[in-house]
Chains A and B, each alone.
Chain A
Amino acid sequence: GAGVSQSPSNKVTEKGKDVELRCDPISGHTALYWYRQSLGQGLEFLIYFQGNSAPDKSGLPSDRFSAERTGGSVSTLTIQRTQQEDSAVYLCASRNTPGNTIYFGEGSWLTVV
């Protein structure tokens, strides 16, 4: 597609359930990023992929969070046993290394009730 595509755009889930968030980067972009933005806050780095590998997973807030990327394209961020504090917008971005501009998707708005 023309831009970074994320799904679902909105998700309301019950506390304790697992959720999967999907990111489809711009075609050919090798670098992929996940960020989290809580209401009125800045962007918290979660994980970065270069191709299928994730050089640094230290941004993931707990072991309930995991992410994978297959085929150097689509990435999935999984949150297990969701908690209310997980409620946020999860933003995905991609870059064509060695390109410069990093493009963001529209985000997945997660609400845990």
Chain B
Amino acid sequence: ELKVEQNPLFLSMQEGKNYTIYCNYSTTSDRLYWYRQDPGKSLESLFVLLSNGAVKQEGRLMASLDTKARLSTLHITAAVHDLSATYFCAVLNYGGSQGNLIFGKGTKLSVKP
């Protein structure tokens, strides 16, 4: 059974600081997703990582994937208040469901001045 673990679950940062969110998963997969969710809103797709060593960047966010270690990271550079949200990673499950997406519990990020 595919399990996805994120840490930390809560993160309070000061503006201008850097931090990394980690996403570990338990079985082989070659697709990893990062989503952002604002309070009361749906999920916004940030990144889709498809292969070992994949790295994608958008603004102050950079995501990477190591399929051998079954680890993805979401790095935040010089955080700003607008980045405050909950960030989810999700892994495509090729097991019994042949393609469903299993989510981590989410990391609630709060960026303070």
Judge whether B99 and A104 touch: CB under 8 Å: no
Asked if B62 is at the interface of the complex by the 8 Å CB criterion, the answer is: no
B43 contacts A104, CB within 8 Å?
Answer: yes
Majority secondary structure of chain A interface residues (helix, strand, loop or mixed): strand
Determine if B59 is an interface residue (Cβ-Cβ < 8 Å): no
Total interface residues in chain B, CB < 8 Å: 23
Q: Is the CB of B99 within 8 A of A97?
A: yes
Given known A-B contacts A91-B42, A103-B45, A58 and B96 have beta carbons under 8 A apart? yes
Q: Interface size on A (CB < 8 Å)?
A: 24
Contact present for B98 and A55 (CB under 8 Å)? yes
Given A42-B88, A42-B106, A100-B31 in contact, is the A48-B43 Cβ separation under 8 Å?
A: no
Give the docked Cα–Cα distance between A106 and B90 (Å). Answer: 18
Closest approach, in angstroms, between the C-beta of A16 and any C-beta of chain B? 28
Chain A residues close to B by CB (< 8 Å): 31, 33, 35, 41-43, 45, 48, 50, 55-56, 58-59, 91, 93, 97, 100-107
